[in-house]
C-alpha cells in the first residue's frame, strides 16, 4: 500500500491521478489533497477519497468544505501536507502549477516522501538542489511528464555511457501550422486549443509558445544527467511516440502510447511495474502514420532561450521560468499579446544574476521579484 498526497488535486493532472488510482484501492490510499478554487469539485474528491489532511487555497474556503480531515490553507498548508506523516510508503504527487510547486517539493523530500513530479517548474528552477536533496534523503523522484516517462522507460537497464542523445518529441502546440507573422494577433482562446492533449491553461499556452518543450529539455537534463548538447527535440504531430533515446551504435529506442496522461501517471506510481489497467485504450497501430519534422528554434525562440538559460545554469533558468510565468499570466488576462511573452523572457534572461548566492531562498526571492516587477508594469 502506498499513501498518496496530491497537490493540485482539482487540476488536470490531479483529477487524472485520482481517476486512475481509484481502480487500485488495494495499492493506493489518498491521505492528503490540496484543492484550488473549484470547491465543488474539491468537496466531491473529499467525499470520494476521504483524505486525512486537506489544504484549501484561502482561509475563507475552510468553512465551505465539509470534512473530518485536518484542514489547512495557503502556501503554509501545502507545506503542512508535505510534512504530514503516515505509516506506509509515502508518495507526494506534485501537480501544482508554476513556481508555487517548488517549496512543497523540498519540504516533502526533507520529510522523506517520494515524489511523483508533474510540476516541471520545480526542476527548471532548482534542479541541482533538488537532485542533491533527493540523494541526501534517500527518496525517489519519478517523472510524470509523458516525454520524461518515455525516456525513463527507454533507458531502463541501459548503461548511461551508451547513450548518445535524448530525443524529446513535441506535438507543436496550437500554433504549429502558423508562421511567426500570423502570431501577431492570436488570442488566448486560439492558444488554448491544443490539438492532442487536454491540459491546464498555463501548460497549454507554454505548449503553443514552445516554452514547455524548453522546460522539458531542462527537466530532462536534471532527471537523466545528460548534457544539453545531447538533448534534442523533434516535432511529432501525432503525440504517439512520447520520446526516444539514441545509443552510440545509432540504435534508437522509442516509447509509444495513446496520448493519455493517466499512463505516465500510473507508471510513476507503480514503477518498476507496468500494471494491468482497466479503463485505458489500447494503441491501435494499424492505419496510423507517424511524422517527424524539424522543430525550428527560429520559429520558436523560447526553445532556444531555454537551451541558453539551461547551459548558463544558476539563476538563468529561474529567470526564464519567472518571466514566462508572469508573461503567461498577463496574456491570460488579455494584458499583453502572445509574442510579448517571448520578448519579456528574452529581456530577463539577458540580465546579470552573477552576484547572487545560489541557494533556495535566493531562488524563491528572485522568482518573486521578477514576477512582481513584470506584473506591475501592466496594472
What is the contact surface with Mn ion in residues (CB under 5 A)?
145-147
Q: What nine digits make up the cell of 340? A: 510579448
Nearer to Mn ion, 145 or 260 (CB): 145
Give the CB-side neighbour count of residue 279, counting CA atoms within 13 A: 9
Nearer to Mn ion, 57 or 242 (CB): 242
Question: How near is the Cβ of 242 to Mn ion at its closest, in Å?
Answer: 8
Question: How near is the Cβ of 199 to Mn ion at its closest, in Å?
Answer: 9
Name the β-bridge partners of 252. Answer: 246
Distance CA 89, CA 2 (A): 5
Q: In what order do the strands lie in the sheet with 241-247?
A: 231-235, 163-170, 241-247, 252-256
Nearer to Mn ion, 16 or 113 (CB): 16
Question: How near is the Cβ of 194 to Mn ion at its closest, in Å?
Answer: 11
Question: How near is the Cβ of 343 to Mn ion at its closest, in Å?
Answer: 25
- Which distant-in-sequence residues (6+ apart) come within 8 Å of 319 by Cβ? 309, 348, 349, 351, 353, 366, 370
Can you say whether the dihedral through the CA atoms of 226, 124, 361, 356 is positive or negative? positive
Nearer to Mn ion, 219 or 367 (CB): 219
Nearer to Mn ion, 31 or 244 (CB): 244
Question: How near is the Cβ of 216 to Mn ion at its closest, in Å?
Answer: 6
Phi first, then psi: what are they for 240, rounded to 5°? -105, -40
- Which distant-in-sequence residues (6+ apart) come within 8 Å of 331 by Cβ? 188, 191, 205, 337, 338, 340, 341
Q: What nine digits make up the cell of 355? A: 552576484
Question: How near is the Cβ of 259 to Mn ion at its closest, in Å?
Answer: 10
- Residue closest to Mn ion (Cβ): 145
Nearer to Mn ion, 42 or 143 (CB): 143
Amino acid at each position: 500500500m502506498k499513501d498518496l498526497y496530491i497537490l493540485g488535486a482539482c487540476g488536470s493532472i490531479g483529477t487524472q491521478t485520482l481517476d486512475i488510482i481509484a481502480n487500485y484501492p488495494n495499492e493506493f490510499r489518498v491521505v492528503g489533497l490540496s484543492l484550488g478554487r473549484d470547491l465543488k469539485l474539491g468537496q466531491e474528491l473529499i467525499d470520494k477519497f476521504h483524505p486525512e489532511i486537506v489544504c484549501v487555497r484561502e482561509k475563507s474556503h475552510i468553512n465551505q468544505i465539509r470534512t473530518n480531515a485536518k484542514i489547512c490553507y495557503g502556501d503554509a498548508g501545502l507545506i503542512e501536507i508535505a510534512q504530514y506523516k503516515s505509516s506506509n510508503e509515502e508518495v507526494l504527487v506534485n501537480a501544482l502549477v508554476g513556481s508555487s510547486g517548488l517549496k512543497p517539493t523540498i519540504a516533502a523530500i526533507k520529510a522523506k516522501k517520494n515524489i511523483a513530479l508533474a510540476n516541471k517548474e520545480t526542476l527548471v528552477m532548482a534542479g541541482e538542489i533538488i537532485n542533491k536533496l533527493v540523494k541526501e534523503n534517500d527518496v525517489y523522484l519519478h517523472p510524470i511528464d509523458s516525454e520524461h516517462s518515455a525516456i525513463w522507460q527507454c533507458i531502463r537497464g541501459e548503461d548511461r555511457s551508451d547513450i548518445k542523445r535524448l530525443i524529446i518529441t513535441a506535438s507543436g502546440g496550437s500554433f504549429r501550422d502558423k508562421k511567426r507573422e500570423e502570431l501577431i494577433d492570436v488570442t488566448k482562446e486560439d492558444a488554448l486549443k491544443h490539438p492532442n492533449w487536454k491540459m491546464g491553461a498555463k501548460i497549454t499556452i507554454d505548449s503553443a509558445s514552445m516554452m514547455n518543450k524548453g522546460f522539458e529539455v531542462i527537466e530532462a537534463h536534471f532527471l537523466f544527467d545528460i548534457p544539453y548538447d545531447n538533448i534534442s527535440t523533434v516535432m511529432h504531430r501525432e503525440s504517439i511516440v512520447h520520446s526516444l533515446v539514441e545509443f552510440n551504435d545509432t540504435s534508437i529506442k522509442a516509447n509509444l502510447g495513446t496520448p493519455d496522461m493517466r499512463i505516465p501517471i500510473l507508471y510513476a506510481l507503480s514503477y518498476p511495474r507496468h500494471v494491468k489497467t482497466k479503463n485505458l485504450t489500447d494503441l491501435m497501430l494499424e492505419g496510423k502514420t507517424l511524422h517527424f519534422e524539424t522543430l525550428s528554434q527560429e520559429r520558436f525562440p523560447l526553445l532556444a532561450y531555454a537551451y541558453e538559460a539551461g547551459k548558463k545554469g544558476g539563476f538563468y533558468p529561474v529567470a526564464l521560468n519567472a518571466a514566462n510565468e508572469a508573461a503567461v499570466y498577463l496574456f491570460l488576462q488579455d494584458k499583453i499579446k502572445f509574442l510579448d511573452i517571448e520578448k519579456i523572457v528574452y529581456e530577463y534572461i539577458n540580465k546579470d544574476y552573477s552576484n547572487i548566492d545560489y541557494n533556495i531562498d535566493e531562488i524563491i526571492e528572485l522568482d518573486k521579484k521578477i514576477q512582481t516587477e513584470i506584473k506591475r508594469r501592466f496594472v
